[in-house]
């Protein structure tokens, strides 16, 4: 199957966990697509399946049933070593907790994915990314010297250094004040204009409603 239109294309995405003789459905036959340059928000109560869906499309977990494409690569049956390659080449992750190393500068924190991928020949690109996220003057500052919004922008810069096609953001503004939330969403809009597909899982309905599309989950299923 060729998938030239979508950054992610999934049909019947199902994740089942076994608890004794009982089957627990975290996802039940979810169809999901996102195109390059699109922002999609995922909402629902805790336990509805938001994080499970992010884990599926982020290749962090494997499907029990269904078919999933990242670009033109069918990932549903790939082994972990192959999923690592798909993640590294296609997906950047942003979390509610910034996961910055406090003893490293902003620049050094963002450089880490290139270090792990042994791609330090690309390290000059990190400075360009800091300009894009509005932190060009803060390269050498420690996380403790920055506010929450700036720390999240460092985390976004770190997610961008491997030049992903998709950004997965799990409650990216959950710990931020209103002004910082606006800056982060504005940055996501700018990245989408550059062609990135962005998925935001959030409890913030105000933020979610500003996405191009909003998907509501309940009990692992999509509801209107």
Q: What is the pLDDT of residues 102-139, one digit of tens each?
A: 999 999 999 988 877 777 677 778 889 999 898 888 88
**pTM of full prediction above 0.85:** yes
Q: Residue 2 — very low, low, confident or very high, per pLDDT cuts 50/70/90?
A: low
Domain residue spans in the chain?
37-60+90-223
DSSP state of 145: G
* 93 contact partners, CB below 8 Å, separation of at least 6: 58, 159, 167, 168, 169, 170
CA distance 86 to 105: 28
CATH of domain 37-60+90-223: 3.40.50.300
Q: Hunting for tokens 């999609």 — which residue is that?
A: 40
Look at residue 5 in the predicted model and tell me its pLDDT. 86
Encode pLDDT of 44-63 as tens digits: 998 899 999 999 999 998 89
Residue 168: pLDDT over 90: yes
């Amino acid at each position: 199957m060729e998938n030239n239109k979508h950054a992610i294309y999934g049909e019947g995405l199902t994740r089942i966990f076994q608890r004794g003789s009982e089957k627990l459905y975290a996802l039940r036959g979810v169809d999901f697509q996102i195109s390059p340059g699109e922002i999609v928000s995922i909402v629902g109560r805790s336990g509805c399946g938001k994080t499970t869906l992010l884990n599926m499309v982020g290749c962090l977990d494997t499907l029990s049933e269904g078919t999933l494409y990242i670009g033109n690569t069918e990932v549903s049956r790939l082994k972990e070593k192959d999923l690592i390659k798909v993640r590294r080449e296609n997906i950047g992750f942003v979390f509610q907790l910034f996961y910055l190393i406090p003893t490293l500068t902003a620049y050094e924190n963002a450089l880490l994915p290139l270090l792990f991928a042994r791609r330090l020949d690309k390290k000059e690109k990190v400075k360009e990314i800091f300009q894009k996220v509005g932190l060009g003057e803060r390269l050498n500052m420690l996380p403790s010297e920055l506010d929450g919004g700036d720390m999240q922008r460092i985390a976004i810069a770190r997610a961008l250094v491997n030049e992903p096609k998709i950004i997965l953001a799990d409650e990216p503004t959950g710990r931020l004040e209103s002004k910082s939330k606006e800056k982060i969403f504005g940055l996501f809009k700018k990245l989408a204009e550059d062609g990135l597909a962005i998925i935001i899982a959030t409890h913030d309905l105000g933020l979610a409603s500003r996405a191009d599309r909003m998907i509501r989950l309940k009990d692992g299923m999509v509801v209107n």
